[in-house]
Structure 1
Amino acid sequence: MAKLSYRQVEAFRAVMIAGTTTGAAELLYISQPAVSRLLNDFEAAVQVKLFERHHKRLAPTPEALLLFEEVERSFVGIDRLATMAEELRDFQRGSLKVAAMPAIALGFLPRVMQTFSEQHKGVTLTLQVRSSQQVADWIATQHFDIGIGAVNVADPSLSMEMLGEAALICALPAGHPLAAKAVIVPEDLKDQPFISLGPEQSVRYKVDEVFEKARVSRQLVFDTQLSHVACSFVDAGAGVSLVDPITALHFPSGNLVFRPFEPWVSFSYHLMYPAHRARSRATQEFSQLLKEELRKLVANSGGLLKLRGTNKKAPGDAGA
């Protein structure tokens, strides 16, 4: 059997639908002789009589009817592919899996994802909250499309991008005498009950170093892995703490105040992508939206959230 062409099959299908070569030509936007030629070539290729000619109409043979059923199944599949491609192009279908550390996932990120969902209603969104190291592991093994964490690891399976480097800020009870100060320095916290971020985080050692250099002692009453929990301790009247500013800005309590702390103690936010997989359009647009929403947060933070190093490749510094 001679090789079939897609155009021949298309002409056969059009004739079966229209009943005439003239009608088929109108469906395909080609001339009637072109349809007749394609139809003749198709019959010659399949070596089966497909039509009985009755004046200007074509009567399909039983073989043609059986063949048409198979052609329709194939064209339905092609139409489905075309529909899916259109839905993907218009974000009517797809998925985006995000893994993030708690510092950015407990307040800020759900709002960003809600905005993205409103703009792309067909995209299914997943958010998993884990430690920064677990986020890096998941992205490296391609279980998620994008990760946000505070670690910068030299892993060939990861593509890293600096989202921003912020300064820790001081969380205080609203009635605390230090709440009247515009900026808190280590000497202000001498002998104060202090909630530390846990020793498993590198930012803990940065904070300890600042107080050691200033020769300031604190009352270390609690330590915890999460800035959100540290804020909860402060909210309960357990002491003061240094926390990441994105967590602070989304902590739901009127019993706390936050003040800038000097010197700068950095807390880094990094974007992570699987290095050996192309980024989907949904991933790219979500990353862009994330950066835009972070810039808005900075602008509305009243100076509490200050970022440096945004949209640059991550430096070697490791965060919490």
Structure 2
Amino acid sequence: MNLRQIEVFRAVMNTGTTTEAARLLHVSQPGISRLVRHLEVQLDVALFERRSGRLVPTAEARELHIEIEKVYRGVLHVRDVAAHLRYGTHSTLRVLSSANTALELVPRSMAMLINQYPTARVLFESLPTREFVKLLVSEEADVAISSAPLDHPSLEVEEIGRWLLLCALPTDNALVTQKKPKLAKALAGRLVAYSAEAPQSAVINHWLQSHNVTRNVAAEVRSGLAACAVAATGVAVAFVDDLSARAHKADGLVFASIEDAPSFPIYLVKNRHRPLPRLGEAFSEIVREQLKQLQSTAVPKAGFSLLQ
């Protein structure tokens, strides 16, 4: 029996007439009748008794029907798998993120993806960027959104946007009320520093060196959000990425833009030897769009600029 014969036989068994089976399968009634007769000839078994316009299944037909139901469930499963493959929802997407992109950018993008693909599942981890290479190369992750460059011959690294450096100041800092606050004054005070694990560490340290700053470090942190929290206590000034600034919700802090402030890349990273599944491609496009939308709005609690 081929799949078409199985489908027709099952329809006749479930409806009891060739007319209803034809309506169910959207074909002609004579075609159903011919196929049933042909199947009986092929099997050399009477499958139905014709009684008053209805087809009454024989014992052989009922036995065959039990086995066909098992096969048909398998066919439906194959169709479901094929549909999942088409729409990219057949597997779990494994996403890595730097600390600052994990605050709003990646969660917002995940939400958009799941809204588009309701059966999708996303495994999301915020890790130090040094962990990204191992997981992407070993194919234990599909894609990473990183605030630091990654260098490995097996990785494809694409810049998808940039983050901007801001200054996080306690609300009672003297610079907040000055008419022309100077960057040098902020740099001369006590500062929040970043540990080497933070993606911002190297780029902010390089920027500070370019200003010949001898840092007076009050605290060391591993993330921009932690830097904001420390600065809000009034103990020190922090220089943070705008993604962390947007996610900071507590009071006690204001953000100053910096004249001629540097900006630094945000990267989408994947294994160049392992094409992304369709779900991963959709996520990549969403991240790009969400980053644009996120940074098109003003940073909360920002309203003045530090001059060079």
TM over 0.5: same fold? Answer: yes
Match of 2:173 among 172, 176, 179: 176
More displaced 10-residue stretch of structure 1: 108-117 or 79-88: 79-88
Which residue is equivalent to 2:306?
none
Q: Is contact 2:148-2:199 (8 Å) kept?
A: no
Match of 1:166 among 138, 163, 168: 163
Q: Is contact 1:95-1:123 (8 Å) kept?
A: yes
CA distance in 2, matches of 1:133, 1:95: 23
Q: Is contact 1:189-1:218 (8 Å) kept?
A: no
CA pair 213-73 structure 1, distance change in 2 beyond 3 A? closer
Task: Give the gaps of 5 or more residues in structure 1.
Answer: 306-320
Matches within 5 A, 1:79-98: 79-82=76-79, 95-98=92-95
* Secondary structure of 2:159 counterpart: strand
Give the TM-score normalised by structure 2: 0.80
Q: Give the superposition deviation at 1:74.
A: 2.0
Matched, 1:197 2:197: no
Match of 2:219 among 201, 218, 222: 222
Q: Give the superposition deviation at 1:144.
A: 3.2
Partner amino acid, structure 1, of 2:256? R
Q: Give the superposition deviation at 1:272.
A: 2.3
| CA deviation vs aligned residue, 1:257-303 (integer Å, no higher than 9, x gap) | 11123454343221223434443444333333333332222221259
Matched, 1:233 2:230: yes
Partner amino acid, structure 1, of 2:286? L
* Secondary structure of 2:251 counterpart: coil
| CA deviation vs aligned residue, 1:57-99 (integer Å, no higher than 9, x gap) | 4432211110011112222333345456667878998644322
CA distance in 2, matches of 1:16, 1:202: 65
Matched, 1:11 2:12: no
**How many residue pairs align between the two structures?**
302
CA pair 102-182 structure 1, distance change in 2 beyond 3 A? farther
Match of 1:24 among 21, 24, 29: 21
Matches within 5 A, 1:291-310: 291-301=288-298
Q: Is contact 2:246-2:300 (8 Å) kept?
A: no
CA distance in 2, matches of 1:141, 1:257: 42
Matched, 1:272 2:269: yes
CA pair 11-145 structure 1, distance change in 2 beyond 3 A? same
Q: Is contact 1:102-1:130 (8 Å) kept?
A: yes
Match of 2:43 among 16, 41, 46: 46
Q: Give the superposition deviation at 1:202.
A: 6.8
CA distance in 1, matches of 2:6, 2:209: 81
More displaced 10-residue stretch of structure 1: 95-104 or 183-192: 183-192
CA pair 159-9 structure 1, distance change in 2 beyond 3 A? same
Q: Is contact 2:128-2:197 (8 Å) kept?
A: no
Give the TM-score normalised by structure 1: 0.78
Partner amino acid, structure 2, of 1:40? R
CA pair 159-206 structure 1, distance change in 2 beyond 3 A? closer
CA pair 90-176 structure 1, distance change in 2 beyond 3 A? same
Partner amino acid, structure 2, of 1:260? S
Which residue is equivalent to 2:254?
257
Matches within 5 A, 1:4-153: 4-54=1-51, 56-82=53-79, 95-118=92-115, 120-153=117-150
Q: Give the superposition deviation at 1:255.
A: 1.0
Q: Is contact 1:12-1:39 (8 Å) kept?
A: yes
Matched, 1:242 2:225: no
Partner amino acid, structure 1, of 2:143? I
Which residue is equivalent to 1:286?
283
CA pair 228-278 structure 1, distance change in 2 beyond 3 A? same
Task: Give the gaps of 5 or more residues in structure 2.
Answer: 303-308
| CA deviation vs aligned residue, 1:150-199 (integer Å, no higher than 9, x gap) | 23334354333212122321111111122246887653335311112223
Q: Is contact 1:190-1:216 (8 Å) kept?
A: yes
Percent identity over the alignment is 29
CA pair 33-242 structure 1, distance change in 2 beyond 3 A? same
Q: Give the superposition deviation at 1:118.
A: 5.0
Q: Is contact 1:182-1:260 (8 Å) kept?
A: no
